[in-house]
Structure 1
Amino acid sequence: MSRPLQRVRVVGTSGAGKTTFARRLARALGAPHIELDEVFWGPGWVKRDAEEARTDLRARTAGPRWVVDGNWDSRLDGALDGADAVVWLDHPRRTVMSRVVRRTLWRGITRRELWHGNRESLANLRHTDPHRNIVLWAWHHHAGVADRYAARAQAPGSDVVRLRGPRAAERWLRAVERGR
C-alpha cells in the first residue's frame, strides 16, 4: 500500500475477528471505529431502512479518517467507496468457526448488549435457519465471502489487502501500529 491509510474497511466472514482487528487499527490510525452491524441493525434485531442507515453511515464517515468493519455489501450502495483499502481477513473456516462458536456462547451466557438493546441468545443456536443462527450463518457464508473478495482482490487496481490467517493479520496490524 503506497498511500497512507486514512479510511479503511475491514471485511471477512463472521467470526474472523473484524471488530477486534478494526478497533486496534482505528487506535493505530487515530481514527473513529464504526461497526456496520450497529449501523444496519435496529432494536429488536430489525434491519434499519437501508437509506436511513446509509445516511447515518455517510455522516459517521464524513471525516478524513475512519475504520469501518463489516460486510453488508448488498446495502452499502457505494457508501464506503472512498476507502483507501479494504482489509480482508481471509481466515480458514476452522478458525472462524472456532471463534464464532466461542463468541456466541460467551455473548449468550453473559447477555452482553451489542447495540440498540440487541443481545445474542443461546436459544438461537437451536435454529436451523442461518438467518437466526450466527454459527450456521458463518458456516454457510464462508465460501461466498471468500469468492466475493477474492474476485475483488484480483481486479485491476484492487484496493484489497488480503490477510490469510490470524498470523498474517497480526503481522500487518503490528506494522501499521509501528508506523511501518
Structure 2
Amino acid sequence: MERILVVGVTGAGKSTLARTLSTRLGVPYHEMDALHFGGPDWAVNADFADDVARLTAQPCWVVDSLGYPEVRDLLWERADTVIWLDYPRRVVMARVLRRSIRRSVTRELLFGGNRESWRGWLSREHPAWWSWSQHGPRRREIHRRVGDARFAPLDTRRFAHPDDTSAWLATL
C-alpha cells in the first residue's frame, strides 16, 4: 500500500480515513476538495488536473475521492490500493448531516476559504443533498471501476460498516 485511493459517497468518512492512513503509514495525504476548490465562492483551481497529475506521479500518496471527472481515471490508474467505504445510506446521511450542521453553526473554514452556510442547504450541491442523490450512482460507479480490467491489479478493500473499517485499521 503505497498509492492509496479512499473512495465512497459524500459523508462516508473518506478524508478522516485518508488522514489516519497517512499518519499510520507515513504516506503523504492529499485532500481532493482542497486541491479542487482554489478560492472563495467555491472557485475551481485552474491547475487542478496538473496538480493531481504531479502529486500522483510520486511513489507514495493517499487521496480521498472517487475522483473529480477530469482526474478520475488518472487516480484509478495510478493507485495500487483502493479502500472503499461502502456504507449504507443511513450511516452516511447521519454523518453528513452532523458534519454540515456543525460546519454551518461554527462557520468552520473550509477549502479555498469557503464555508458552509444555512442558505447553502437549499442548493442541490449541498453535501447533504448531494450525498442523498448520489448514494446509488456513486456505489454503482465504484463497483464498476473495481471490476474494470483497466485498473487491475488493484488491492481493493471494501468495508460495509465503520466497525469493519476500524477493525481493519487496528491491524495496521
TM-score under structure 1 length normalisation: 0.86
Report the counterpart of residue 49 of structure 2 in structure 1. 54
Are 2:154 and 1:154 aligned? no
After TM superposition, the structure 1 stretch with the greater mean CA deviation from structure 2, 71-80 or 113-122, is 71-80
What is the Cα deviation at residue 85 of structure 1? 0.9
What is the Cα deviation at residue 47 of structure 1? 2.3
Instruction: Indicate if the aligned counterparts of 1:104 and 1:122 stay in contact, CA closer than 8 A.
Output: no
Report the counterpart of residue 40 of structure 1 in structure 2. 36
Instruction: Indicate if the aligned counterparts of 2:66 and 2:72 stay in contact, CA closer than 8 A.
Output: no
Identity of aligned residues (%): 36
Are 2:124 and 1:130 aligned? yes
Structure 2: gaps of 5 or more residues: none
Q: 1:143 to 1:151 in 2, by over 3 A?
A: same
Instruction: Indicate if the aligned counterparts of 1:39 and 1:53 stay in contact, CA closer than 8 A.
Output: yes
Structure 1 stretches of 4+ moved >4 Å: none
SS at match of 1:169: helix
What is the Cα deviation at residue 172 of structure 1? 1.8
Structure 1: gaps of 5 or more residues: none
Instruction: Indicate if the aligned counterparts of 1:153 and 1:161 stay in contact, CA closer than 8 A.
Output: no
Q: Alignment RMSD, CA only?
A: 1.6
Q: 1:40 to 1:144 in 2, by over 3 A?
A: same
SS at match of 2:158: strand
Instruction: Indicate if the aligned counterparts of 2:66 and 2:142 stay in contact, CA closer than 8 A.
Output: no
TM-score under structure 2 length normalisation: 0.89
Q: Which amino acid is the alignment partner of residue 15 of structure 1?
A: G
After TM superposition, the structure 1 stretch with the greater mean CA deviation from structure 2, 60-69 or 85-94, is 60-69
Q: Which amino acid is the alignment partner of residue 30 of structure 1?
A: G
Q: Which amino acid is the alignment partner of residue 46 of structure 1?
A: A
Give the distance between the partners of 1:95 and 1:158, measured in 2 at CA.
30
After TM superposition, the structure 1 stretch with the greater mean CA deviation from structure 2, 134-143 or 153-162, is 153-162
SS at match of 1:113: coil
